[in-house]
Structure 1
Amino acid sequence: MSARQHPPLKSITTTLDGPHAAPQPVDTTVVGEPKGVAEGVPIAVRPDPHRDDGRRPVAWLHITAPPSWSVTPSARSWCTCGYERHAIGRAAVLQLIAAHGEHRTSCPLLNPASEGRAAA
């Protein structure tokens, strides 16, 4: 390749006429311990830190009580056994909260021993 000549000016340098190849990196072998898998991946299998203990939600109580006294509160209580109740108004919501607590002590899904006693 030949270099193209420019008039002798202070800021212009000579350039090549065609493209040139970029310098390539040199392949070197790394000396060390061979890796079994990608770096950062554990080789040994660890136990699952989030094991399932078998507990599941069974009974729920949802209360909507706005901060304003002019708005009527409401509540809903339900269970996977089929128990479901709704209440609207302060007095009815308080009664539903008490009924929800009573259901939790007598629910056959939460207390399997109480089902056997009822049959006996």
Structure 2
Amino acid sequence: MGEPKVAAEGVPIAVRPDPDPGDGRHPIAWLHITAPGRGTVPTATSRCVCGRDRSAVGLHSVLALIEDHTTHRDTCPRRTPREGRAAA
């Protein structure tokens, strides 16, 4: 009887390379702002793969969240890995 067949005969099993390998970058943080127009209240959410999930409602709160999101991008542990003793 022999060994069991893994694939049908004549069917190629080679894996093709990814047609668009990209440049190695991938998103880790998102800032979503909704400002629909005059007379409406703007809203915003800030999310990150590190677990951060914040939201704001109103012009001043949204502006503060935008600034906080920008600061978080520079301090996020997923974006800026720590080295040496600080990593432990």
Note the aligned Cα RMSD (angstroms). Answer: 2.3
Counterpart in the other structure of 1:9: none
Q: Tell which has more relative contact order, 1 or 2 (C-alpha 8 A, sep 6+).
A: 2
Counterpart in the other structure of 1:65: 35
Residues 102-113 of structure 1 correspond to what in structure 2 (within 5 A)? 102-112=71-81
Q: Compared with structure 1, are the counterparts of its residues 64 and 53 closer, same or farther at alpha carbon in structure 2 (3 Å cutoff)?
A: same
Query: 1: distance between equivalents of 2:55 and 2:84?
Result: 29
Confirm whether residue 91 of structure 1 aligns to residue 60 of structure 2: yes
Residues 32-51 of structure 1 correspond to what in structure 2 (within 5 A)? 50-51=20-21
Confirm whether residue 119 of structure 1 aligns to residue 86 of structure 2: yes
Query: 2: distance between equivalents of 1:103 and 1:94?
Result: 14
Query: 2: distance between equivalents of 1:77 and 1:118?
Result: 30
Counterpart in the other structure of 2:9: none
Counterpart in the other structure of 2:3: none
State which of 22, 43, 48 in structure 2 corresponds to 1:74: 43
- Scaled by the length of structure 2, the TM-score of the pair is 0.70
Q: Choose 1 or 2 for highest CA Rg.
A: 1
Q: SS where residue 99 of structure 1 aligns?
A: helix
Unaligned runs of 5+ in 1: 1-46
Q: How many equivalent residue pairs?
A: 72
Q: Give percent identity, aligned residues only.
A: 51
Provide runs of 4+ in structure 1 moved above 3 Å.
none
Unaligned runs of 5+ in 2: 1-16
State which of 14, 25, 42 in structure 2 corresponds to 1:55: 25
Q: SS where residue 86 of structure 1 aligns?
A: strand
